[in-house]
Structures are given as structure tokens and as C-alpha cells.
Amino acid sequence: MKIEGIETKRLNLRNYEKTDVDFIISIWNDPEMGKYMPDPSIENMEEEYRKSYETLEEDEECCYLISECLETGERIGTCSFVVSEDGASYDLGYCVHMKFWRNSYGTEMVQGMIDYAKIRGAEIITAPVNKKNVASNAIMRKLGFNIIGESKFKKMGTDIIMESYLYSLEL
């Protein structure tokens, strides 16, 4: 799913392109940055899984975005959302490269997606967040999300079971 892009005060959230594969791997599959995500770490990633990243721009259900600094064009992180068939619900996710942690980029990315969804008539936004991810849980609370449920998932390539909160924001 592609969109026209989202611009915030400091960021441009643009559509993912195949040239972003290495950047995505550097975040999602990094043992430190991706530790709260279901994606496998680099040492547990199979080549077929890596190749699946090359087709993300063709995904018709999920909108994958790369966040870039408006001033420099440098890639800051990734974000994504899935829209319900009726457009009333958006489910989102995001990740910031550790080089840019503690600069409020995560908050700005999520707020940009909220604003985008609101303009398009969304009524609710949901976001799963790993229970141990202190920073992301703080962002959800800061932006007015409430916990509406819990779930578990297995980290790919491991036997590690992760627990998550499901957050919701009514618009």
C-alpha cells in the first residue's frame, strides 16, 4: 500500500523502496534495536526472509514507510500501518534507529500517523507494544493511548516468547 507521504515538523515519512532493504535490516534484525520485535535477529535470519523485505513496497495491505530527517534526508527509522477495510481503524508500528534514540522521533512518527489517519476519517488507532519496551510504552501513554488487551508472540528463529500490550486511541 502506498500513500502520498506524511510530513511532520522534522520528518518526512515516505514510502518504502527496495533500496531501503539494508536500512530496514540494520534496525529490525539488529539484536539491540530489534529485540522487542518479532523479526529474527541477523544471526537467525534466513535468506528467504531477507528477500521478503524486497517486496514490502508491493504489499497491498500494509503501508511501509521510512522516516527521514527533513533537513538532511538521513533515514531515522521505519513505521507502518494497516487500515481496516472500512477505513475506521488503523493498526500501526514503528522503530527508530538507535543512533536517534531519545530525540522524540518515535513520538513524532506516531503523531504523524495519527494525524494522517484522523484526516482520513479513522475512528480508532491500535498499536501492539512489547511489555518490556519502556520507551514505546511511554510514547503510547504520552499520546493518550490506553491498554485494551495483551498478547504473546514468539520471536522468529528462537524459542523466546514475548508479551505485548495492545494499545488503542479513540479519535
Q: State the pLDDT at residue 76.
A: 97
Q: State the pLDDT at residue 40.
A: 81
Q: State the pLDDT at residue 131.
A: 97
Contacts of 89 (CB under 8 A, 6+ apart): 83, 122, 123, 124, 125, 126
Closest CA to 143 of 116, 170, 103: 170
- The tens-digit pLDDT sequence of the chain (171 residues) is 999 999 999 999 999 999 999 999 999 999 899 999 988 888 878 888 888 888 898 999 999 999 999 999 999 999 999 999 999 999 999 999 999 999 999 999 999 999 999 999 999 999 999 999 999 999 999 999 999 999 999 988 889 999 999 999 999
* H/E element, 31: none
Q: State the pLDDT at residue 88.
A: 96
Burial of 59 (0-12, 13-18, 19+ CB in 10 A): middle
Give a yes or no: residue 133 inside a domain.
no
User: Domain containing 99: what range?
Assistant: 6-125
Give a yes or no: residue 143 inside a domain.
no
Q: State the pLDDT at residue 45.
A: 80
Domain count, the chain: 1
Closest CA to 143 of 118, 168, 117, 116: 168
Closest CA to 11 of 110, 118, 134: 110
Contacts of 48 (CB under 8 A, 6+ apart): none
Backbone angles phi, psi at 158, to 5 degrees: -140, 180
Give a yes or no: residue 145 inside a domain.
no
How many CB atoms sit inside 10 A of residue 128's CB?
Answer: 17
Give a yes or no: residue 103 inside a domain.
yes
Give a yes or no: residue 22 inside a domain.
yes
Q: Note the pTM of the prediction, 2 decimals.
A: 0.93
Question: What is the CATH number for 111?
Answer: 3.40.630.30
- Three-state DSSP at 167 gives strand
Closest CA to 65 of 123, 4, 129: 4
Give a yes or no: residue 130 inside a domain.
no
Give a yes or no: residue 155 inside a domain.
no
Backbone angles phi, psi at 101, to 5 degrees: -60, 155
Specify whether the CB–CB gap between 105 and 11 falls below 8 A. Answer: yes
Give a yes or no: residue 43 inside a domain.
yes
